[in-house]
Structure 1
């Protein structure tokens, strides 16, 4: 049996307990023994991380110590999978460049109100196989990301007033990535429990978690 570790906490506005509980039954059904950690010091336990096949992180607006970051990034580099969504991945640990290099992206901005927008499946991948483009109404993230990300879903954002120009901007929504021997999965959707209950979002997120595992 493979082992999954859900690491959750940080800003309660992203409902870390409620959102991660949506995916615990699916992980169990997929054959994982699921454990929970609500303290970032779990990233100091190298032995535990090295026997973990998947870390699902939902921890927004946090800070990692140098030692915690090293423990996490080294475990993923050695083959532990890492996955999650929204601010729990790209809106946290923003001062730690080793962590940001591993995840391949950083949240910058979203309009204050929720928007309805289309998400386009961008590339063939097992995570999105058989899924069609879909529409969501939630926060639309403006992200920095790098070219090593394998972007498998995108949206289009309209730049806010302030000198950005009139054109539309293609923005990644879902990507995968390798960090050493480890696989990473990220989806920008997931501000609320309701966002993750959207049938297509829930399916691709579940698939992404399972795909990322060792």
Structure 2
């Protein structure tokens, strides 16, 4: 008899990223793929070494929070031993100002333009056969786009481009315009290996309708499965 894999959903922090409704979008998917899903609305589970060792996947949606050294170390140890970690938007790269945690995820949010903007998520042609993005070339979005600082060890699958912002209030920019003077292309979806574990990050997902877009939902669901420990 096949034993169900275990997924731990950790959600909370700033409510603007709708951690409960957002994670509820994916819990039925995980259960349908044979995961036994438990939900935690605090970070104490990360310090529970036995529980974390048993987890095949951690799905985190926790924004603008504080993680203790012990909690961060427990999460990192589990991933190094093979537990997968996955998340989206501020729930993973806007979560904690903690160096060990940020090294684990491979990126940290630093800026987004005011409000929601039209832009495109572009899959890198050389990664078009990756199982997370296969069959998806680009996705038109109207939402926040994240300027992130990232680790060169990441396997970047898709990007977004920041054009210089216009000058003056009418264009929404500062009196001097954007401090960058040319388009800047930044990672938006990536995977990485950390010890025996896998990490999946998507910067898309500020609001529920972002996550419900069919190609974004597909990328996210595939990312969860990719990150999970393969028994």
- In the other structure, the counterpart of 1:179 is 194
The aligned counterpart of 1:208 is 223
Shift of 1:159: 3.5
- What corresponds to 2:104 in structure 1? 102
1:91 aligned residue: 94
Between the aligned partners of 2:152 and 2:142, the Cα distance in structure 1 is 27
Q: CA RMSD in A?
A: 0.9
Rounded Cα–Cα distance in structure 1 between residues aligned with 2:5 and 2:141: 32
1:149-168 deviation line (CA, Å, top 9, x unaligned) = 00001111114424322x10
1:207 shift after superposition:
0.4
1:141 is matched with 146
Larger radius of gyration: 2
2:209 pairs with 1:194: yes
Partner residue of 1:39? 42
Q: What are the residue-to-residue correspondences of 1:1-214 with 2, within 5 Å? A: 1-94=4-97, 96-122=98-124, 123=127, 124-160=129-165, 161-165=177-181, 167-214=182-229
Structure 2 CA distance, aligned partners of 1:142 and 1:175?
A: 14
Count of matched residue positions in the alignment of Structure 1 and Structure 2:
212
Scaled by the length of structure 1, what TM-score is found? 0.97
Runs of 4+ in 1 over 2 A off after TM superposition: 159-163
Instruction: Provide structure 1 residue ranges, at least 5 long, that are not aligned to the other structure.
Output: none
In structure 2, the gaps of 5 or more residues are 166-176
Cα distance between partner residues in 2 of 1:12 and 1:36: 16
C-alpha distance in structure 2 between counterparts of 1:26 and 1:158, whole Å: 36
Shift of 1:132: 2.7
